[in-house]
C-alpha cells in the first residue's frame, strides 16, 4: 500500500493558519515508541501480536506535525493526510460476528452511562440518531433508557451485524439520512474527532434535529493533551512517567486523532451552526485492560482512571475526554 499523501491544513473553526507547533515528527515518533513500550510491559508473555497491535495500530499513520490554533486552541495535524486516505482507513473490513458481539458487550457499560447522561439532558423521552453506531452498544443502552434509537454508519459490513441485533441502522453518513426525518437528539460518541469536515456534520445534525433538540459529541480533549505533552520531556522522571501514564491510559499518546477539540473551539464551532452548549461533561476512556493484561497493570489502570475520573467530573478542562451537549436554538419568528 502506498504511503499517505499530505496537504496543508488550517484551523477548521477559525479558518486561519495562525498556530504554534506543539509536536514535531521526531517527538511523535518518540511517542509511538513510548506507547509500544508502555503496552509491552503491561501485557502477559505470549500475548498474540495482533492484540498488541490493537493498542498501537491506530497510530500507523502518526501525525507528521501537530499544531495548536492561537485563537481557539484546536489541535490539528499540519500537514494532514488527504481525505480519501482517511476514508480508506475507516471503511476497511471489520472483525468477525463473534468478535463484534464481544465488542458490543464490552462497550455496553460505558454507553449506559452516556445514554443516562443524554436522557437527563433531553429531559424527556424521544428519538435519538447515533452517528457512527458501529456494533450498536449505544443503541442498546438508549433503548434501555426508553429512547427510540437509530444508527448511521459508513461501515456496511458492521451495520449488517448491528441490524441482526434488532436495530435500525442506515448505511452512509449523517447527510445521507433521508429528507423529512427528524430526531430529538443526535449523538456522535466516537467519530467526530476523525471526520474530514466536522462543520459539515454539525450542520447536517442541525438539519435533522427538531428545534431545541440535543446534539452531543464526545471527543478527546485537545487541551488535556496540549497541557501534558510537554511533560513527556520533563527533567523529572516521575513527572515524565505520570504524563505518559495519563496519556497512554486514555489513548492520547501519539494523538491518533485528526482534531483535538477543546471546550472553547467546540463552543465556537457549535455556536456558528445555531447551537447553544448546555453542558460539558468530563470523562476518561473506557477500560483498555483485557484477558492479556497483567494483573498489576489492570489494578494500575483502575486506580489511575478512578483518580482521573474524580478530577474530570469536577473540572472538564482537566478531563482527558469531554462530552459536549448543545441545544439547537429555537428559530425566532419575525414579528
Nearer residue to Zn ion within complex by CB, 56 or 223: 223
> Does 266 sit near Zn ion (CB under 5 A)?
no
Main-chain dihedrals φ then ψ at residue 17, nearest 5 degrees: -115, 15
Residue closer to Zn ion, measured from CB, 43 or 219: 219
Residue with smaller CB distance to Zn ion, 71 or 276: 71
- To 10 degrees, what angle do helices 295-314 and 25-42 make? 130
Minimum distance from residue 240 beta carbon to Zn ion (Å): 29
Q: Strands, DSSP E only, in 156-238?
A: 168-171, 183-188, 209-220
Look at residue 65 and give its three-state secondary structure. Answer: coil
Nearer to Zn ion, 11 or 202 (CB): 11
Residue 151 contacts residue 133 (beta carbons within 8 Å): yes
Residue 72 touching Zn ion (CB under 5 A) = yes
Q: Is the dihedral of CA 287, 152, 194, 15 positive or negative?
A: negative
Distance of alpha carbon 186 from alpha carbon 215, whole angstroms: 5
Q: Does 158 bind Zn ion (CB under 5 A)?
A: no
Check: CB of residue 151 under 8 Å from CB of residue 129: yes
Q: Does 319 bind Zn ion (CB under 5 A)?
A: no
Site string for Zn ion, 13-42 (x = CB under 5 A): xx----------------------------
11 vs 139, beta carbon nearer Zn ion? 11
Number of chain residues interacting with Zn ion (CB under 5 A) = 7
For cell 448491528, the residue is 162
Using CB under 5 A, which of 9, 22, 43, 74 touches Zn ion? 74
DSSP secondary structure letters along 249-275: TTT-TT--SSEE--HHHHHHHHHHTTE
Among the candidate windows 12-20, 216-224, 228-236, 276-284, which touches Zn ion by CB under 5 A?
12-20
Closest distance to Zn ion from the beta carbon of 254 (Å):
22
Q: Which member of 43, 66, 69, 149 binds Zn ion (CB under 5 A)? A: 69
Q: Which one, 71 or 245, has the nearer CB to Zn ion?
A: 71
Sign of CA dihedral 118, 201, 66, 6: positive
- Using CB under 5 A as the binding rule, whether residue 252 contacts Zn ion is answered as no
Chain contacts with Zn ion (rule: CB under 5 A) = 11, 13-14, 69, 71-72, 74
Amino acid at each position: 500500500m502506498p504511503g499517505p499523501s499530505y496537504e496543508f491544513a488550517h484551523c477548521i473553526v477559525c479558518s486561519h493558519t495562525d498556530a504554534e507547533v506543539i509536536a514535531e515528527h521526531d517527538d511523535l515518533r518518540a511517542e509511538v515508541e513510548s506507547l509500544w513500550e508502555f503496552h509491552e510491559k503491561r501485557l502477559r508473555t505470549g500475548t498474540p501480536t495482533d492484540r498488541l497491535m490493537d493498542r498501537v495500530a491506530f497510530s500507523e499513520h502518526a501525525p507528521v506535525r501537530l499544531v495548536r490554533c492561537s485563537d481557539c486552541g484546536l489541535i490539528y495535524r499540519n500537514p494532514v493526510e488527504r481525505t480519501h486516505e482517511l476514508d480508506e482507513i475507516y471503511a476497511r473490513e471489520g472483525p468477525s460476528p463473534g468478535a463484534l458481539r464481544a465488542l458490543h458487550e464490552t462497550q455496553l457499560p460505558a454507553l449506559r452511562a452516556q445514554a443516562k447522561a443524554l436522557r437527563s439532558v433531553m429531559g424527556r423521552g424521544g428519538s435519538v440518531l447515533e452517528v457512527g453506531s458501529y456494533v450498536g452498544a449505544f443503541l442498546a443502552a438508549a433503548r434501555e433508557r426508553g429512547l427510540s434509537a437509530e444508527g448511521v454508519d459508513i461501515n456496511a459490513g458492521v451495520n449488517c451485524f448491528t441490524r441482526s441485533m434488532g436495530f435500525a441502522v442506515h448505511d452512509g453518513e449523517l447527510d445521507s439520512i433521508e429528507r423529512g426525518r427528524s430526531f430529538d437528539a443526535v449523538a456522535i460518541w466516537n467519530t467526530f474527532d476523525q471526520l474530514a469536515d466536522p462543520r459539515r456534520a454539525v450542520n447536517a445534525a442541525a438539519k435533522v434535529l427538531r428545534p431545541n433538540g440535543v446534539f452531543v459529541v464526545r471527543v478527546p480533549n485537545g487541551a488535556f493533551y496540549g497541557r501534558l505533552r510537554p511533560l513527556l520531556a520533563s527533567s523529572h522522571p516521575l513527572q515524565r512517567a505520570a504524563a505518559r501514564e495519563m496519556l497512554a491510559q486514555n489513548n492520547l499518546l501519539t494523538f491518533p486523532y485528526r482534531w483535538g477539540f477543546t471546550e472553547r473551539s467546540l463552543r465556537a464551532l457549535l455556536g456558528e451552526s445555531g447551537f447553544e452548549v448546555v453542558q460539558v461533561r468530563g470523562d476518561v476512556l473506557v477500560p483498555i485492560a483485557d484477558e492479556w493484561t497483567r494483573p498489576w497493570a489492570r489494578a494500575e489502570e483502575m486506580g489511575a482512571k478512578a483518580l482521573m475520573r474524580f478530577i474530570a467530573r469536577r473540572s472538564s478542562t482537566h478531563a482527558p475526554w469531554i462530552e459536549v451537549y448543545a441545544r439547537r436554538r429555537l428559530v425566532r419568528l419575525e414579528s
